């Protein structure tokens, strides 16, 4: 029943999209708030809480991820009200955007709550296919070509994930029979698996698929290109919801793999993360528009989250994850406003905002940009302190202490280049270029306010205690 | 005997698909590939007494061997897709690449061959099919052969599911079929919009 309540807002959007969307789109943000009621209930009940047998369950981890992704969905729905004032979109395109957004949301809710690898994959695939059409709503040749790109690369990534799942299932089936797909049972019985190599190859394939989907090395630019070619709320959905579902899958799969070969998993993710960050830093330094800048920075943050997770700094990873999931969609939605007059330009984009909403937007964008580069009191500042110290403690116990420490220092050096780039862009936005008058709509400012408040709420003792309690 | 025959034809049709230069032929070979995949699932299902696998085989025959190729052919005519689908990789390179990928798959399976028992050769063929369909997907620039490559990749994963695990749970099989249908709907919509522009 709870699952039904959780999916009601998505179903409402889906059905409303068959009727007059112009009037209904103003009601949809209110109906989307309904999703918070069952989530609050899930926070209050004892966990794990079975939603559909043991196929779908609410754990402390996925309830948190569900809350984060639902807040992102609410914020995006709110900003969609004035999408037609920001971009050129046909009425049919608008309707279909809502319809596929509902399918996307539904798919990812299923993925996040699934306790079964197969169901997790089905939800993710459903969301991937819906995204293809959302990219396509922007009627341009480039967006069509990027939609096909997404279809092909997304399919390769998701097929690798399925390939890995089949191998993991094959390795665990002699022990658990058909329950070998159940995450929790597998975690409890992982030590009885005889074919560890088969499991490890499976995990490797799953990770590669997920890394491709998150834009890790060597597929670092495809995501940024797709986000550039599509309407800006799609980038917000990617960073806030799709990547949340992929990360929750990575958390589950890597928790299994860490029980078998923790040092192997750490080494694999560490090398992969370093290579990705190395490439991303240079691409980000050359970025000439907001969407690419934020998209590449999103990959940087996912690198950090995965690295913290496999280092055992679960609290840091989850705090960073929450902050990333709120800050990035807010920045992508802001970029729709900042780029309204001219794309591929940073200079003076923060000038020309007048009135109460304009001034509020000016300060909020400043807050978001400074928070995303981990300036205190951003939650990212604390997560990075905790996470880096966890990696240091691993290095101190390791045989390869000097090697790990050297890589950590290089890592910090690359992060400082990204920090410099963001400061440079922020200064250019504020002090360079010409002043052109710009408008901010109420719904847009409300949406960004939700994200800013949600980010700040991560610093509350309640949030800290909950996140610490997830893996205690 | 019939299992060996079906899996052999499955691999053979996949190799022919890679070497095909005409779109409708490619779709035809996809249909044949799916047909033998369906038969394979039915044979293994009967051998193991697994009704779920027999059901999956029947669905594969209906949808993948007949319905999807029929609609793909219809889309090709309706949207006037380019029929000449020569790959970017030259045939003589393909002829060398295909056996290399197959041999590499057998090498890849060797560390865990003992855990899948008698099926280790089938698993190796499934993995090589996956690599071959990936090759088909990346060696073409035009969209239509990429779609067929994606569908063949899905067939290879289904084959891997049958051979490595003795069949996936029914719920998952149905979910994968549902996603495949959704993919066809999205492909249709994309082609329609592409024509509109």
Most confident segment among A145-149, A321-325, A350-354, B51-55: A321-325
Across the range A91-95, mean pLDDT stands at 84
Question: Mean pLDDT across chain B, nearest whole number?
Answer: 85
Most confident segment among A120-134, A169-183, A209-223, A407-421: A407-421
For residue B189, the chain A residue with the least C-alpha distance is A133
Q: How far is B53 from chain A (nearest CA, A)?
A: 13
DSSP code of residue A81: T
DSSP code of residue A339: T
Closest alpha carbon to A286 in A381, A330, A220, A215: A220
Closest alpha carbon to A237 in A102, A59, A81, A90: A102
Q: Which residue has the higher pLDDT, A33 or B84?
A: A33
B143 CB neighbours in chain A (<8 A) are 148
DSSP code of residue B62: I
Beta-bridged to residue A353, according to DSSP, are A438
List the structure tokens of A419: 């920090």
A116 CB neighbours in chain B (<8 A) are 172
For residue B194, the chain A residue with the least C-alpha distance is A144
The rounded distance, in Å, linking the Cα atoms of A121 and A162 is: 7
List the structure tokens of A278: 């190395």
Interface of A with B (CB under 8 A): 55, 116, 118-119, 121-122, 125-126, 129-130, 132-133, 136, 139-141, 144, 147-148, 151-152, 155-156, 159, 162-163, 166-167, 169-171, 173-174, 178, 181, 194-195, 197-198, 201
Across the range A225-237, mean pLDDT stands at 89
Residue by residue, DSSP assigns B134-148 as HHHHHH--SHHHHHH
Q: In A261-353, which residue ranges form alpha helices assigned H by DSSP?
A: 262-285, 290-310, 314-338
Q: How far is B124 from chain A (nearest CA, A)?
A: 12
Closest alpha carbon to A368 in A358, A380, A357: A380
The rounded distance, in Å, linking the Cα atoms of B76 and B80 is: 6
The beta-carbon neighbor of A181 closest among B169, B176, B197 is B169
Q: b/e for B17-35, b at 16 or more Cβ within 10 A?
A: bbebeebbebbbbbbbbbb
Asked if A293 and A223 count as a contact pair (C-beta separation under 8 A), the reply is: no
CB contact under 8 A, A139 and B189: no
- Domain spans, chain B: 2-196
pLDDT level of residue A364 (50, 70, 90 thresholds): very high
CB contact under 8 A, B193 and A162: no
Which three-class secondary structure string do you get for A387-410? HHHHHHHHHHHCCCHHHHHHHHHH
Across the range B48-76, mean pLDDT stands at 88
Within 13 Å and on the Cβ side, how many CA atoms surround A366?
Answer: 13
Count of residues making up chain B: 197
Q: How far is B92 from chain A (nearest CA, A)?
A: 25
CA angle A99, A102, A105 (to 5 degrees): 150
A166 CB neighbours in chain B (<8 A) are 157, 160-161, 164-165, 168
The rounded distance, in Å, linking the Cα atoms of B160 and B166 is: 9
For residue A162, the chain B residue with the least C-alpha distance is B157
User: 3-state class of A353 per DSSP?
Assistant: strand
The rounded distance, in Å, linking the Cα atoms of B144 and B27 is: 9
Across the range A237-248, mean pLDDT stands at 90
DSSP code of residue B80: T
Across the range B115-120, mean pLDDT stands at 73
Q: How far is A12 from chain B (nearest CA, A)?
A: 20
pLDDT per residue as tens digits for the range B167-197: 777 777 777 777 777 777 777 777 776 666 6
- pLDDT reported for residue B195: 66
Whole-Å CA distances, A128 to A106, A409, B113, B179? 12, 36, 33, 10
Within 13 Å and on the Cβ side, how many CA atoms surround A417?
Answer: 17
**φ and ψ of A402, to 5 deg:** -65, -40
Asked if A152 and A24 count as a contact pair (C-beta separation under 8 A), the reply is: no
DSSP code of residue B49: T
List the structure tokens of B47: 């051998």
CB contact under 8 A, B112 and A198: yes
B134 CB neighbours in chain A (<8 A) are 156
Closest alpha carbon to A420 in A410, A428, A432: A428
Residues of chain A with pLDDT > 90, as a percent, come to 50
The rounded distance, in Å, linking the Cα atoms of A444 and A358 is: 11
pLDDT level of residue A472 (50, 70, 90 thresholds): low
Chain mean position to CA A140: 26
Supply the ipTM of this predicted assembly.
Answer: 0.86
Give the number of other Cβ atoms within 10 Å of residue A242's Cβ. Answer: 24
User: 3-state class of A116 per DSSP?
Assistant: strand
- pLDDT reported for residue B197: 61
A449 has a pLDDT exceeding 80: yes
CB contact under 8 A, B112 and A162: no
Asked if A226 and A287 count as a contact pair (C-beta separation under 8 A), the reply is: no
Q: How far is A334 from chain B (nearest CA, A)?
A: 29
Preferred mutation among A163, A200, A218, A230 to probe B, highest tally of B CBs within 10 A? A163
The beta-carbon neighbor of A197 closest among B111, B137, B165 is B111
Question: Mean pLDDT across chain A, nearest whole number?
Answer: 89
- Would you state the torsion angle of the CA atoms of residues A224, A228, A231, A232, taken in this order, to the nearest 10 degrees? 70
Whole-Å CA distances, A208 to A159, A216, A253, A361? 10, 9, 12, 39
Give the number of other Cβ atoms within 10 Å of residue A187's Cβ. Answer: 12
User: 3-state class of A106 per DSSP?
Assistant: helix
Task: Name A209's Cβ contacts closer than 8 Å, sequence gap at least 6.
Answer: A156, A157, A158, A159, A160, A161, A162, A163, A164
pLDDT level of residue A139 (50, 70, 90 thresholds): confident
The beta-carbon neighbor of A194 closest among B115, B160, B182 is B115
Closest alpha carbon to A341 in A40, A86, A28, A111: A86
A219 CB neighbours in chain B (<8 A) are none
Q: b/e for B55-82, b at 16 or more Cβ within 10 A?
A: bbbeebbebbbeebbebbeebbeeeebe
**φ and ψ of A57, to 5 deg:** -135, 155
Cβ-Cβ pairs closer than 8 A, A with B, add up to 102
Most confident segment among A113-117, A343-347, B3-7: A113-117
A173 CB neighbours in chain B (<8 A) are 165-166
For residue A200, the chain B residue with the least C-alpha distance is B112
Asked if A239 and A328 count as a contact pair (C-beta separation under 8 A), the reply is: yes
Task: Name B31's Cβ contacts closer than 8 Å, sequence gap at least 6.
Answer: B64, B65, B66, B68, B69
Tokens 């499976």 identify what position? A202
- pLDDT reported for residue A459: 93
The beta-carbon neighbor of A139 closest among B166, B178, B197 is B197
The beta-carbon neighbor of A169 closest among B146, B154, B168 is B168
pLDDT per residue as tens digits for the range A399-412: 878 888 888 899 99
For residue A149, the chain B residue with the least C-alpha distance is B143
Pairing outcome for strands A56-58 and A49-52: antiparallel
Closest alpha carbon to A169 in B162, B110, B44: B162
A149 has a pLDDT exceeding 80: yes
Burial class of residue B117 in the structure, from the number of CB atoms within 10 Å of its CB (0-12 exposed, 13-18 middle, 19+ buried): exposed
pLDDT per residue as tens digits for the range A272-285: 999 999 999 999 99
Question: Given its phi and psi angles, is residue A215 left (phi above 0), alpha (psi -120 to 50 degrees) or beta?
Answer: left
The beta-carbon neighbor of A173 closest among B111, B154, B165 is B165
A452 has a pLDDT exceeding 90: yes
Q: How far is B6 from chain A (nearest CA, A)?
A: 21
Q: Which residue has the higher pLDDT, B110 or A367?
A: A367
Residue by residue, DSSP assigns A30-67 as HHHHTTHHHHHHHHHS-SSEEEETTTEEE-HHHHHHHH
């Amino acid at each position: 029943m709870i699952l039904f309540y959780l999916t009601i807002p998505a179903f409402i959007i889906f059905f409303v999209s068959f009727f007059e969307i112009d009037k209904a789109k103003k009601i949809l943000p209110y109906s989307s708030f309904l999703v918070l009621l069952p989530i609050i209930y899930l926070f209050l009940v004892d966990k794990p809480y079975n939603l559909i047998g043991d196929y779908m369950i609410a754990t402390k981890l996925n309830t948190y991820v569900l809350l984060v992704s639902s807040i992102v969905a609410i914020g995006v729905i709110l900003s969609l009200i004035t999408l037609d004032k920001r971009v050129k979109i046909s009425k049919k395109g608008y309707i279909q955007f809502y319809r596929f957004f509902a399918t996307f949301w539904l798919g990812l809710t299923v993925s996040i709550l699934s306790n079964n690898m197969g169901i997790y994959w089905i939800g993710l695939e459903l969301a991937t296919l819906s995204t293809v059409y959302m990219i396509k709503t922007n009627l341009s040749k480039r967006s069509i070509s990027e939609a096909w790109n997404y279809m092909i690369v997304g399919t390769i990534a998701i097929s690798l994930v399925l390939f890995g799942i089949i191998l993991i299932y094959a390795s665990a089936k002699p022990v658990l029979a058909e329950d070998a797909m159940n995450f929790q049972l597998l975690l409890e019985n992982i030590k009885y698996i005889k074919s560890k190599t088969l499991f490890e190859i499976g995990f490797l394939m799953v990770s590669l698929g997920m890394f491709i989907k998150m834009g890790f090395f060597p597929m670092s630019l495809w995501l940024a290109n797709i986000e550039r070619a599509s309407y800006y709320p799609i980038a917000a959905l990617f960073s806030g919801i799709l990547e949340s579902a992929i990360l929750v899958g990575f958390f589950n799969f890597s928790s299994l793999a860490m029980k078998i070969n923790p040092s192997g998993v750490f080494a694999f993710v560490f090398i992969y993360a370093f290579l990705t960050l190395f490439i991303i830093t240079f691409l980000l330094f050359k970025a000439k528009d907001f969407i690419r800048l934020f998209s590449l920075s999103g990959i940087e943050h996912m690198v950090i989250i995965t690295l913290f997770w496999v280092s055992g700094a679960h609290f840091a990873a989850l705090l960073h994850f929450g902050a990333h999931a709120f800050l990035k969609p807010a920045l992508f939605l802001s970029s729709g406003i900042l780029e309204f007059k001219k794309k591929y330009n940073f200079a003076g984009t923060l000038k020309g905002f007048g009135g109460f909403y304009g001034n509020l937007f000016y300060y909020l964008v400043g807050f978001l940009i400074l928070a995303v580069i981990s300036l205190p009191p951003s939650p990212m500042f604390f997560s990075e302190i905790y996470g880096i110290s966890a990696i240091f403690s691993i290095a101190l116990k390791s045989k390869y202490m000097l090697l790990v420490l050297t890589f950590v220092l290089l890592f910090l050096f690359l992060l400082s280049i990204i920090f410099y780039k963001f400061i440079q862009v922020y200064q250019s936005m504020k002090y360079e270029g010409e002043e052109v008058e710009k408008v901010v709509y109420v719904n847009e400012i409300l949406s960004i306010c939700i994200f800013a408040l949600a980010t700040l709420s991560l610093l509350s003792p309640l949030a800290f205690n909950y996140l610490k309690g997830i893996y205690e | 005997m019939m299992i060996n025959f079906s899996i052999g034809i499955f691999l053979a049709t996949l190799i022919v698909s890679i070497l095909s230069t005409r779109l409708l032929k490619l779709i035809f070979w996809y249909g044949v590939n799916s047909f033998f995949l369906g038969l394979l699932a039915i044979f293994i299902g009967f051998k193991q007494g697994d009704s779920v696998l027999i059901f999956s085989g029947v669905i594969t025959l209906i949808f993948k061997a007949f319905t999807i190729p029929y609609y793909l052919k219809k889309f090709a005519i309706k949207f006037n897709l380019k029929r000449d689908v020569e790959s970017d990789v030259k045939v003589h390179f393909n002829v060398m690449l295909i056996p290399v990928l197959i041999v590499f798959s057998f090498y890849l399976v060797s560390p865990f061959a003992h855990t899948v028992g008698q099926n280790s050769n089938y698993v190796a063929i499934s993995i090589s099919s996956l690599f071959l369909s990936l090759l088909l997907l990346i060696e073409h620039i035009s969209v239509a052969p990429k779609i067929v490559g994606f569908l063949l990749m899905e067939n290879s994963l289904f084959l891997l599911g049958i051979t490595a695990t003795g069949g996936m749970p029914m719920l998952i099989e149905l979910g994968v079929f549902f996603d495949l249908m959704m993919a066809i709907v999205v492909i249709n919509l994309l082609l329609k919009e592409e024509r509109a522009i």
